[in-house]
Amino acid sequence: MITEDSPLGEYAIKDQYAMYFLTWTIVGWVDLFTRKECVDIVLDSLRYCQDKKGLIIYAFVLMSNHLHLLASAQRETTGLSGITRDFKRHTARELLKWIQNDKESRREWMNVVFRYHGKYNPNNEVFQVWQQYSHPKICYSPSFIMQKLDYIHWNPVKAGFVDRPEDYRYSSARNYLLRNDTVLDVRLLDYGPTVGLIR
C-alpha cells in the first residue's frame, strides 16, 4: 500500500499498526532543537499524540535537527501514517510561529531555507519545515529492534554531545534505566532495563 508518507512506495508504512523505526528530519538539517522552546513544541506534540491519537513510543531521541522513534499506533486510530502527518503539520505551524519572534536571531535565514524547500513541494503553501519522508523501517525481528534501540540511545554519544546515553536529556535512555527525570513517557520493551546502554 502506498501511503502519504512515501508516495513512491519506498520505505512505505505498509502496516499501520506495526512497530517502525522512524526518522523525522528538519529540511536543510537546520538545528532548530538547540532552542528549548522548539524542543518543548515537539515534546508537547508527542505527548498529545500519545494521549489523544494513539501513538505508542517505545524509544526516542531528539537531536539538534532530527527525531528518531521506535513507535506504533493503537488499533482504532488513523494509524501511524495519519499520526505522522498530523504531528508534522502541527509542529511545523508551531515552530514557524515561534521562529518569527524576536528571540530567534536566525529567523531571516530560517525563513529563506523553509521557503526554498516549500517552493519545491506541492503539498505546502509557502514553507516546509520537516522533510517529507520519514524513512520508516518495519521492526521485523527482536534483533532489529535491539539494533535500533542501541542506535537511538547511542546517537548523542556518537555525535559527541555526551559521554553516556543517559546523560542526554532528550532521549529514552533514562526511561530504560528506570530514572525519574525523564522528559517523555515510553512503553518499555522487555529486553531488560539497560538494553542498548551498557557496552
Q: Could you give all domains of the chain from N- to C-terminal order, each with its CATH number? A: 20-98+131-176 (3.30.70.1290)
Q: How confident is the model at residue 112 (pLDDT cuts 50, 70, 90)?
A: confident
Q: What percent of the chain has pLDDT over 70?
A: 88
pLDDT of residue 103: 78
pLDDT one-digit tens code per residue, 31-84: 999 999 999 999 999 999 999 999 999 999 999 999 999 999 999 898 999 999
Q: How confident is the model at residue 10 (pLDDT cuts 50, 70, 90)?
A: low
**CA-to-CA distance for 183 and 47, rounded, in angstroms?**
10
pLDDT of residue 121: 73
pLDDT of residue 119: 80
Average pLDDT over residues 182-186: 97
pLDDT of residue 62: 98
Q: What is the pTM of this model?
A: 0.88
Contact of 153 with 196, CB cutoff 8 Å: yes
Q: How confident is the model at residue 9 (pLDDT cuts 50, 70, 90)?
A: very low
Residue 171: phi and psi, rounded to 5, are -150, 155
pLDDT of residue 23: 96
Average pLDDT over residues 174-179: 93
Give 162 or 100, the one with higher predicted confidence: 162
pLDDT of residue 194: 53
Long-range contacts of range 48-54, CB-CB < 8 Å, 24 or more positions apart? Answer: 49/83, 49/86, 49/87, 50/185, 53/77, 53/78, 53/82, 53/83, 53/86, 54/83
Res 12 pLDDT > 70: yes
